[in-house]
Structure 1
Amino acid sequence: MKIAIIGTGTVGSALARGLKQSPHKIILGARDAADRATQSLAADVGGELASPREAAGSAELVILALPWDVAETAVKALGDLTGKIVIDCMNPVGMVGGALGLLLGHTTSGGETVAAWLPGARVVKTLNQVGAEMMADNAGLPHRPVMFMAGDDPEAKSIVAAVLSNLGFEPLDAGDLTKARLLEPFGMVWINQALLRGKGRSWAFAAVERT
């Protein structure tokens, strides 16, 4: 399957490296294909480079790995993605009352907002609940890290679950896309522990069952 990663920053780069050994073909959607770091990333993961619009248009699955403050303009510029599976791994964060917090919640979510920007796309909210380091490489953890996903299309979620497994996660279905309202605050729990409570970034959530 051809996967387009839109955005080559910290998260986009980590996902590209995490999928390097997968059977998927990676195409990086970058604003500046001449950037040396972006070219180095493409060479490292054996991926193609294209404009964001070209990358999204040529792929079967599109991963949005963009800062929220530029997301609307960038996502709408991708064109018509009707029928394509789109993973939204962005958390709608910004400064709220002088502290980092969610800009959306309770009655809507970033995932639902992305779906409104891309009518006809099969949006799945996931990969927002852990830091980039664990996306690139989570081998060696004592438990397989869990990754929840939410979306309205069962087939799309089945395909996304396989991609999550390629990245080393245990995929768990949280329900329809409105459940992004749960997953985005859950992502903030990781951010709070990692950045504000001193836990650092080398950890992930796991679902541990009694046997």
Structure 2
Amino acid sequence: MRIAIIGTGNVGSALARGLKGKGHDLWLGAREPGTVAALAAETGAKAALPRDAAAAADLVILSLPWGVAEAAVAALGDLSGKVVVDCMNPIGRTAQGMGLTHGHTTSGAEIVQGWLPKARVVKTLNQVGAEIMADTSVLPHRPVMFMAGNDEAAKSQVAQVLADLGFEPLDAGDLTKARYLEPFAMVWINQAIFRAKGRNWAFAAVSAT
């Protein structure tokens, strides 16, 4: 699969490392491609401007800070028909402090779909820290990763990517279910950062035998 990772911070870099050697044609989209040359060499990816990386890909992963996402997505050009993975959480300053800026009546993923009405948006890869995305083999159980989207074929493609990263993909339903998945991410953040559990863990779905 031709995969473009737009945004090469902690999450984007982790995903590139997690997908290294999994048979995908990886592109790293960065405003200054030279700044990701080392990561590209490490992961066997190609570095390009975000618009060029997205144009070359079948599947585009958005791993951007929410505050810059709208402008960055607009700069990608026409993504009609492409699978777009939204792994962002709409975190910003609220009356209660840092938290989700969207919730009960919409979600970040639905907003992204509004920006890209002809793309096939799937919400996932927002429920765990970057460290686990880079390497799930450190965990004693296969971690779970929920996804939500309106296009079944798109979710099938994304499920393969999740499996390649070492996750157990679980379908949460249509894109409105991102309203569940984004607050679910805040549970991980609360435990990891505010309850001192640390970052080297993930949720798992453990079934009775």
Structure 2: runs of 5+ lacking an equivalent? none
1:191 CA drift (Å): 0.4
Identity of aligned residues (%): 69
1:82 aligns with 2:80: yes
1:98 CA drift (Å): 5.2
**1:76 alignment partner AA:** A
**2:43 alignment partner AA:** V
1:33 CA drift (Å): 1.2
Tell me the SS of whatever aligns to 1:34: helix
**1:149 alignment partner AA:** M
The correspondence of residues 102-113 of structure 1 with structure 2, limited to 5 A, is: 102-113=100-111
- State the distance in 2 between where 1:146 and 1:99 align: 29
Q: Which runs of 4+ in 1 moved over 3 A?
A: none
Q: How many positions carry a matched residue from both structures?
A: 209
1:143 CA drift (Å): 1.0
2:34 and 2:47 in contact (8 A); partners too = no
- State the distance in 2 between where 1:81 and 1:132 align: 26
1:18 aligns with 2:15: no
- State the distance in 1 between where 2:145 and 2:134 align: 14
1:21 CA drift (Å): 2.0
The aligned residue for residue 63 of structure 2 is 65
Taking structure 2 as the reference length, what is the TM-score of the superposition? 0.99
The aligned residue for residue 7 of structure 1 is 7
The aligned residue for residue 133 of structure 1 is 131
The correspondence of residues 116-195 of structure 1 with structure 2, limited to 5 A, is: 116-195=114-193
2:15 and 2:134 in contact (8 A); partners too = yes
Tell me the SS of whatever aligns to 2:125: coil
- State the distance in 1 between where 2:74 and 2:13 align: 22
- State the distance in 2 between where 1:140 and 1:44 align: 20
- State the distance in 1 between where 2:77 and 2:130 align: 27
> 1:78-97 CA distances to partner (integer Å, 9 max, x unpaired)?
11101000000000001212
What is the RMSD computed on CA atoms of the aligned residues? 0.7
1:34 CA drift (Å): 2.1
- State the distance in 2 between where 1:200 and 1:100 align: 19
